[in-house]
Structure 1
Amino acid sequence: MSTARTRAVRLTRWGGPPVVTEVARPVPTGEEVLIQVEAAGLCRSDLHVIDAPAGSLPYRTPFTLGHETAGRVAARGPRAAGPAIGERVVVYGPWGCGSCARCAAGAENYCDRRAALDADRAGTGVGLGRDGGMADWLLVPSGRLLVPVGELSAVQAAPLSDAGLTAYHAVATVRSAIGEGASVVVLGIGGLGHLAVQILRATTPAQVLSVDVREEALALADQCGAHFGTLLRPDSTAVLRRLTGGVGAVAVLDFVGSNASLDLATGVLRAGGELAMVGSDGGEVTVRKPGALPPGTRISLPFWGTLPELEQVVALARGGALRVEVERFALSRALEAIEGLRSGGVRGRAVLVPD
């Protein structure tokens, strides 16, 4: 009997471009669930994976890219639990061991056995060492990793699993510091940053101040509810501090992570403030006493988010408080979408859809 073939965007070798190719259609066994993919998001993390030198990531090639996936449950293994066949879902991306205390609480992004999984080169999750959603079909290890989305469109749902979830988790790390009248600075209004602006407006009383190097990004921040936006300039620190009454921001969410963004972050942060470093653009901040960081600074390095947080993000989106700015590409145009993202030509989130 012949094996059904299906398309997938695969990373076949380190340092080489991905390829759109054919693979065998997966068949679920045990607790596995097969998803018919309706949309798959694309982000800068994919570029980091694509461009990674051999040996720098604990993954084995080849594997299918795509860590933001929404679709419909098509088949289930005999021991599968969770959403029924036909139900529309978004896939929770970080896949841990599934059994440690963190995983049992839905925090597979901080799996206690992550180091052992990395040593086994088992992958960080969907599309990160494990076959991902830039394909017609996706095999998920367990129904526990699926969140129902109801009638929310797949194009809106897919980016929630990383762009929405990571932004929500970053806000959650600083939320306790945000009282009435507090100012929060969002650096980088891209796929994550524009959602962070909306999440801050929906879940906190913050005055939201946005920063980017692109006028169109500031326009997007304005559409998302930011109270003020400025281009990254030599006087940005002074401008932002004036807007906070001279005391500085209680929190900075840095979705860029460059030296320039971190310099601005440390310059605008108030004493006892919160710095959430989300972006991975190679910047460094020195922790030293005394040093450039304001006294009492708390630094967090948010990674993805928890399963309960993804459920909360989906609820915000279904309730109309969260909307992803997307640019659609057919799956067959995946390589074009990747290059558009690399060149900075994508507004919001690039999303691949079947064609």
Structure 2
Amino acid sequence: MKAAVLHRYDETLGSGRFVEYEDWPDPKIESPTDVIVRIGGAGVCRTDLHVVEGIWRSKVQVSLPYVMGHENAGWVEAMGSAVTGVKVGDPVICHPLVTSGHCLACRRGDDMHADESRFPGINADGGYAQYLRTGQRSLIKLPKTLAPKDVAPYTDAGLTAYRAAKKASRHLLPGEFAVVIGAGGLGHIGIQVLAALCAAEIVIVDRSETALKLAQECGAHHAVKADGSELERVLEITRGQGAEAVIDFVGEGDAVAQGLAMTRNAGTYYVVGYGGRIELPTLDMVTSEKSIVGNLVGTWPELVELMALADRGLVHLKTREYKLQDANQALLDLHHGKVSGRAVLIP
């Protein structure tokens, strides 16, 4: 098969050529519960850029060369002898984790913290290719209204945004505020999820006028440009108190300190983006009673819930399509901020 293969790390992302489009071994059925998926779409994620930078080397064991791509959807191509519930040709979306289902975390539905797991695109060959090996437990059959190429990025970007927004929505009441920092590939989904799940007023903060416009189209009630005065503007909107929930899809630079400052006393700051540091005196934590909550992708049931929202038209994913052989261009465009929404590779 053809694949876009990562051969070397580029810590500065300065080479301009991150992957090579080449012949690569077809994935094989190795377990009775394995499924081979013919890729219909593979999302291009900022995490992929972090993989190229080598940031994930300390977290996972992977040997180069290998195939990135952890946001995948397509059609069942082949399956192991123990697989039930799907048949060849079924359109499916793939939860990013492949787990056995036997450990306590799996049995509780908390796949992201399974004792043993495989993460295609992170620590195993992923979907920047024509075919992908995954597992039966990872598959969700798609309704006729949703095409694989249109939903592939939901498996990480959408699912991560959904998980954070769902957590926040459980505590948000009419008359309260939710601030979303970053209206890009994750943020524009998080805004739609918040609008679908709660009645709080949604405030979006971003430095891009294009992103702010997209955010308002997605349901944000207030748009604030990150130009140095964003904290003052958010406090003005929230009547000087800050927001009950702040979801930070940036997680680096000034966003962290700003996000915590935008969170009202007894409110919650949800961290999604990463790369920065949280520094807060313990006295401030005690006196403000603010909560800081991390978010790591999401569970299989949450992906089912997100597909239900998409099927009903309550969440729409803005995508830009690239051919698989143009994976370098997609990664470069993402790196340079030229992708509105999510980039998707089509084999």
Q: Is the aligned partner of 1:40 residue 2:42?
A: yes
**In 2, Cα distance between the equivalents of 1:45 and 1:272?**
31
Q: Is the aligned partner of 1:335 residue 2:338?
A: no
Q: Contact 2:166 / 2:193 at 8 angstroms: preserved in 1? A: no
Q: Counterpart of 1:343 in structure 2: which amino acid?
A: H
Q: Counterpart of 1:188 in structure 2: which amino acid?
A: G
Q: Counterpart of 1:46 in structure 2: which amino acid?
A: D
Give a deviation string over 1:135-160, Cα, whole Å, max 9, x none.
101111x2110011122022221011
Q: Counterpart of 2:230 in structure 1: which amino acid?
A: S
**In 1, Cα distance between the equivalents of 2:238 and 2:286?**
18
Count residues in correspondence: 338
Match of 1:11 in 2: 6
Q: Contact 1:213 / 1:232 at 8 angstroms: preserved in 2? A: yes
3-state SS of 1:279 partner: coil
Match of 1:78 in 2: 81
TM-score (norm 1): 0.91
3-state SS of 1:211 partner: strand
RMSD: 1.7
Q: Counterpart of 2:61 in structure 1: which amino acid?
A: Y
* 165, 168, 171: which one aligns with 1:171: 165
Match of 2:23 in 1: 22
Match of 1:67 in 2: 70
TM-score (norm 2): 0.93
3-state SS of 1:181 partner: coil
**In 2, Cα distance between the equivalents of 1:87 and 1:268?**
45
Pairing 1:191-230 to 2, within 5 Å after superposition: 191-230=185-224
CA shift for structure 1 position 272? 0.5
Q: Counterpart of 1:323 in structure 2: which amino acid?
A: H
Match of 2:15 in 1: none
Q: Contact 1:14 / 1:54 at 8 angstroms: preserved in 2? A: no
Q: Counterpart of 1:268 in structure 2: which amino acid?
A: M
Match of 1:325 in 2: 318
Aligned residues with identical type, % of pairs: 33
Pairing 1:308-323 to 2, within 5 Å after superposition: 308-323=301-316
CA shift for structure 1 position 224? 0.4
CA shift for structure 1 position 52? 0.8
Q: Counterpart of 1:261 in structure 2: which amino acid?
A: A
Pairing 1:1-355 to 2, within 5 Å after superposition: 6-15=1-10, 17-29=18-30, 30-52=32-54, 55-61=57-63, 62-111=65-114, 113=115, 125-140=119-134, 142-151=135-144, 152-280=146-274, 282-291=275-284, 295-354=288-347
The 1:233–1:36 alpha-carbon spacing in structure 2 relative to 1, beyond 3 Å, is same
CA shift for structure 1 position 83? 1.8
Q: Counterpart of 1:83 in structure 2: which amino acid?
A: V
The 1:308–1:54 alpha-carbon spacing in structure 2 relative to 1, beyond 3 Å, is closer
Identify unmatched segments of 5+ residues in structure 2. 12-17
The 1:293–1:159 alpha-carbon spacing in structure 2 relative to 1, beyond 3 Å, is farther
